[in-house]
Structure 1
Amino acid sequence: MMDELQRSIYVDRFRVAFHTLKGTTFQDWFVRLAGYAFGPDFEEVRPYGPHGDLKCDGRRISTGSVFQCYAPDAMKEAALIAKVEEDFHGARVHWATSMQEWVFVHNDGRGLPPNAVQQLDMLRKTHNPLQIATWSEPELFSLAMGLDLPSLQALFGPAASIAIVDRLVMSDLVPIIEALQRQEPNPSDPPLTPPSAEKLEKNALSEETGLFLRIGRRKSALVDTFFRKSPRPDLGERIAEAFRLRYAELKAFDLPADTIFKHLQDYAGFNGEPKRQGAALAILTYFFDSCDIFEDPIAVGAS
């Protein structure tokens, strides 16, 4: 069974995949997701020969659904409308005997522009009773989070559980601490820049981030013991200062608090096998609580 920490990790990985994958990479990811969600009821259709994929990236047999993906680097209305016209009418020709629903899967979580929505409405009226639907972040999120744990592991990789965090011992912290000691500035990291004149309103952290912190605190005492027993008394403070600097760099960009937390997770080494993820979470939580990174949201009614 999946616990709440694993679920939060998979929620985060879904969002990263949805918002970063483009083009055929997004299409391949959707096909894998649909395959795990629908099992043998879903058939991938791959391009072959001069006719390509016949305007179908995959289909669901029981519902007669034909799926077509579109995930450009930037959504442009004219190109989008042309894509819908070409793919819909192409699918109608090639899959006429089996298609009962056409599903346009796209990567713009903000929704489609109005002229494209009107175009889809016109197609619905013209080709009734054929069903026409659009799937984006909400539909794909529902599909992903309905998967069982083995399917999520196959799609997104392993994730630390609460039980793994609870079983952490001192030696599990060593690889993360050593990596943080060796951390050199990353050329791809945002450089220090002065804050903008107008700061974004202070954001509270989301429930998912709050959950990460609550579970990480289960091992904060272990991290504290590690630094108190270290032969280098300044080790904890040196790493704390590195976190402060990284936080300042990110905050200067007026990034939302959850985005900053995600960058700090990456900085702490929240990747690899589950035990390493658990150790990184415990260490990040320790420094979240013990050094001046992030600010508590202002309580309602506070002056």
Structure 2
Amino acid sequence: MDDLSWAFYDMKFKEIIREKTENEFEDFFSKVMQIKYKDNFMPCRPWGKDGDKKNDGYLINERHLFAVNGPQSLNQNRMIAKIKSDFSGALDYWEEYFEKWSFVHNQNSLPPRINKELLILSTQYTSIKFTFWGPSEIRNILFSLEEVCIRDILGPVPSKINYTTLKLRA
């Protein structure tokens, strides 16, 4: 990949992380994971009143369940409640299927209260490995893919702009 393409994809990734929230962020995460892990990644979508049973994706071979949260704004109390709800709901429905649980978020870092809540859970449930994924983990997976896959996710690199044509249209 040439430097210009690399710079475009890096900029596009940062824009997506900053702008996609809620379901759009979850969809982006699922697309990256499906392309990387193919049939080993099982996306899970809410369905009627059942919802998704607190499963936003599952890596089958690793027995790894994901809880994805891309809030529009960082409200610590709401995020802590979501973490607790997602994990307890996952235990209620999926416990026999996972040994690893990851909280995936779209923030560059999390405030201390949220980090502490995640650490509390990880010490209470020692049989489950907890990981916390921010943009850098998603970025590492995305940029480990072949360029054609990155283009499928982030879109094509714009071709050269003909400034003369643009001036004529204006």
TM-score by length of 1: 0.53
Structure 2 gaps, min length 5: none
Please name the residue that 2:132 is paired with: 134
Cα distance in 2 between the residues matched to 1:26 and 1:105: 10
Please name the residue that 2:38 is paired with: 39
- The residue identity in structure 2 corresponding to 1:178 is T
Report if the CA contact (8 A) 1:65-1:101 is conserved. yes
| 1:205-236 Cα distance to aligned partner (Å, 9 max, x none) | xxxxxxxxxxxxxxxxxxxxxxxxxxxxxxxx
Please name the residue that 2:59 is paired with: 60
Report if the CA contact (8 A) 1:69-1:104 is conserved. yes
CA drift at 1:72: 1.4
Cα distance in 2 between the residues matched to 1:21 and 1:73: 8
Cα distance in 2 between the residues matched to 1:50 and 1:20: 28
Find the partner of 1:179 among 161, 166, 170: 166
- The residue identity in structure 2 corresponding to 1:116 is I
Please name the residue that 2:152 is paired with: 154
Question: Deviating runs (4+, > 4 A) in structure 1?
Answer: none
Report SS of the residue matched to 1:97: helix
Find the partner of 2:141 among 129, 140, 143: 143
Alignment of 1:126-275 (within 5 A): 126-159=124-157, 173=162, 176-183=163-170
Report SS of the residue matched to 1:95: helix
Cα distance in 1 between the residues matched to 2:85 and 2:2: 44
| 1:188-207 Cα distance to aligned partner (Å, 9 max, x none) | xxxxxxxxxxxxxxxxxxxx
CA drift at 1:49: 2.6
1:177–1:77: structure 2 CA closer, same or farther, 3 Å change rule? Answer: same
| Identity level (%) | 26
- The residue identity in structure 1 corresponding to 2:10 is V
Residue 122 in structure 1 maps to residue 124 in structure 2: no
Please name the residue that 2:81 is paired with: 82
**Aligned pair count?**
170
Cα distance in 1 between the residues matched to 2:4 and 2:114: 39
Please name the residue that 2:92 is paired with: 93
Cα distance in 2 between the residues matched to 1:52 and 1:63: 23
- The residue identity in structure 2 corresponding to 1:179 is L
User: RMSD in angstroms over aligned alpha carbons?
Assistant: 1.6
Report if the CA contact (8 A) 1:77-1:115 is conserved. yes
- Determine which structure has the larger strand proportion and give its number: 2
Report SS of the residue matched to 1:108: coil
Cα distance in 2 between the residues matched to 1:180 and 1:107: 39
Q: Select the structure of larger CA radius of gyration.
A: 1
CA drift at 1:93: 1.3
TM-score by length of 2: 0.93
Report if the CA contact (8 A) 1:14-1:144 is conserved. no
Structure 1 gaps, min length 5: 166-171, 184-303
Please name the residue that 1:5 is paired with: 4
Please name the residue that 1:104 is paired with: 103
Cα distance in 2 between the residues matched to 1:178 and 1:5: 22
Cα distance in 2 between the residues matched to 1:41 and 1:5: 33
- The residue identity in structure 1 corresponding to 2:103 is F
